[in-house]
Homo-oligomer: A and B are copies of this chain.
Amino acid sequence: MRSKEAATFTQAARREQMIQATIETVAEVGFHKASLARIAERMGIAKGGIIYHFSSRDELIRAALQEVFDRLTRHMLEQVERAVSLREAVWIYVVTLVGYLDAHRDEVRLISEGFAATQNAESAEEQVQTRWSGLADILDQAVAETGRPGVDTKVLAITVSGGIDALVGEALRDPGFDLRAAGERLAEMVDHLIEPEGEFPDE
């Protein structure tokens, strides 16, 4: 019992290390260049050692994706629930997401390239939906509140989500690009699209 718990604990810790090594390797060399050999090399072991903990590379990638997705979701929920209005929730959503991606650039390539690779391949339809459906939900309520029903919230949610990816990609490419400022400009635009009239929120 005691030893079993300890074994499970160390095993979980080892898996976590390997997931972290995967995130870092993908950030460094890109998704499809992040082979088991490179990830194992970063840990100072042979590639078979990873296969022991994860039965295949696909499963390792899936686990790493799940991890970064959970981290991001947790952070987003924490921040968005602080909003005092739905309109503000939209604003916070955009700024928080951009801010998170700006602060955790290691995870960015895994999120974008990894999602793209898995969504085209097999399952992951859940995650893909989830990608923008959270924003769509908030937008739906916010639009109902502000009373501008002319906006297609699904199209706006997809566009903003993809737009944020593109902004982050630009930031990775051009170190001089101010990503957080871009996020605020984008939030302003979205707000303008769903606002009742012409005024901006309290900032």
The chain A residues found within 8 Å of chain B, CB to CB, are 30, 32, 109, 113, 116-117, 119-121, 125, 128, 132, 151-152, 155-156, 158-167, 169-170, 173, 182, 185-186, 189, 192-193
Contacts and interface: CB of A to CB of B under 8 A. Distances in A.
Contacts of A193: 189, 192-193
A109 B119 CA distance: 13
B173 A119 contact: yes
Contacts of A155: 167, 182, 185-186, 189
A127 to B, nearest CB: 11
A166 B165 contact: yes
B173 A167 contact: no
Contact of A159 (B113, B125, B151, B166): B166
Nearest to A183: B155
B116 A173 contact: no
A128 B185 CA distance: 21
> This chain: how many copies in the complex?
2
Contacts of A152: 182, 185
Contact of A166 (B121, B161, B185): B161
Nearest to A178: B155
12 contacts: A30-B120, A32-B117, A119-B169, A155-B167, A155-B185, A155-B189, A156-B185, A158-B163, A158-B182, A160-B163, A162-B163, A192-B193
Nearest to A112: B116
Contact of A158 (B30, B128, B156, B166): B166
A164 B160 CA distance: 10
Contacts of A182: 152, 155, 158
Contacts of A30: 117, 120-121
A171 to B, nearest CB: 10
Given A116-B113, A128-B173, A193-B193, A159 B160 contact: yes
B163 A169 contact: no
A164 B161 CA distance: 10
